[in-house]
Amino acid sequence: MQNAALRAAGLDCAYVAFRVAPDQLESALGGLRALGFVGANLTIPHKETGFRLMSETSDEAKSLGAVNTVVFTEERMVGHNTDVYGFLEPLRRDGVNLAGTRAVVLGAGGAARGVVYGLLREGADVTIVNRNRERAALLAESMASVLPNGSGPAAYGAGSSDAAEAVRKCELLVNATAAGMAPNVDDLPPVEPEWIGPDTMVADLIYRPPVTALMRIAQDKGCRTMNGLPMLVHQGAESLRLWLGIEPDLAAMEQAAAQALANS
């Protein structure tokens, strides 16, 4: 996906993946910088450790305590987080106005954290539902201090009557759990199909498979759905803007990503 964008921009650059052991991140980043790399993406499990290694971080990275994009400058390592942009931009392009929207986020892990933060920042009314209720409550509590005047989102455990009511009333349902991701394609996140109404938009962060069990249920009810591929593409495009100042060819990126997923 990134290399497709680099080719489309006519740049003599390459994007490569390295597997780095958790205790080697600092050396790896120092090495990349010494080798003249313009930057790097960090993914699981490096986003939080990476945050602590940066000399400077963006506001979003600070709010989430996590960095997914590193920009090397002469003197510094600057950490950004493009996951929030990646989640919000496809919704914006789809014409979704989040201000005042009743949204339920399923999940309370790293991805849910970025999603909840982005939704709150856009003025949505957010409820978190997670299998582990305590983890949902902790995420809600941490978000209350992130945003000015934030009272924090509501947080419920899976299967509770509060969770059912929140999903029934919501206009946007986001799956930020790993339930339904290949190879466990029949797994459903913590939501009962009968809770989902036809006017709810369902966004699943999963992109493998391209249509999840949750999305299939929602589509059968006539709901609008979106998978995780646009988020993947937009967070990556924003990284390219930060590293190179280019406007990436989004269509080329999406096509390359879809092709790579189909072949994997």
Ligand X SMILES: NC(=O)c1ccc[n+]([C@@H]2O[C@H](COP(=O)([O-])OP(=O)(O)OC[C@H]3O[C@@H](n4cnc5c(N)ncnc54)[C@H](OP(=O)(O)O)[C@@H]3O)[C@@H](O)[C@H]2O)c1
Nearest residue to ligand X, scored by beta-carbon proximity: 109
Looking at 177, 200, 225, 239, which residue binds ligand X (CB under 6 A)? 177
178 binds ligand X (CB under 6 A): yes
Q: Which residues in 55-114 contact ligand X (CB under 6 A)?
A: 86, 107-112
- Token readout for 143 is 């978000």
CB 249 within 8 A of CB 233: no
Nearer to ligand X, 33 or 47 (CB): 47
Applying CB under 6 A, the site for ligand X has a residue count of: 27
* b/e map 38-52, b = 16+ CB within 10 Å: ebbbbeeebbebbbe
Tell me: does residue 135 bind ligand X (CB under 6 A). Answer: yes
Helix, coil or strand: residue 70 = strand
- Return d(Cα 92, Cα 239) in angstroms, integer: 18
For the bound state, the minimum distance from the C-beta of residue 208 to ligand X, rounded and expressed in Å, comes to 8
β-strand partners of 56: 78
Name, in order, each residue with C-beta under 8 angstroms of 253's C-beta and a sequence gap of 6 or more: 1, 2, 4, 5, 233, 236, 237
Binder of ligand X out of 5, 67, 126, 176 (CB under 6 A): 176
Q: Please say which residue, 55 or 160, places its beta carbon nearer to ligand X.
A: 160
143 belongs to the binding site for ligand X (CB under 6 A): no
Neighbours of 20 (CB within 10 A): 18
**Residue 47 bears catalytic tag:** yes
Answer yes or no: are the C-beta atoms of 177 and 131 closer than 8 Å: yes
The answer to whether 221 contacts ligand X (rule: CB under 6 A) is: no
Region at 193 (left for phi over 0; alpha for psi -120 to 50; beta for the rest): alpha
Of 13, 38, 164, 187, the residue at the interface with ligand X (CB under 6 A) is 187
The residue from 231, 237, 256, 257 that contacts ligand X (CB under 6 A) is: 231
Nearer to ligand X, 33 or 214 (CB): 214
Q: Is the CB of 109 or the CB of 197 nearer to ligand X?
A: 109
Which residues are identified as catalytic?
Answer: 47
Binding site for ligand X (CB under 6 A): 44, 86, 107-112, 130-132, 135, 176-179, 181, 187, 189-190, 205-207, 228, 231-232, 235
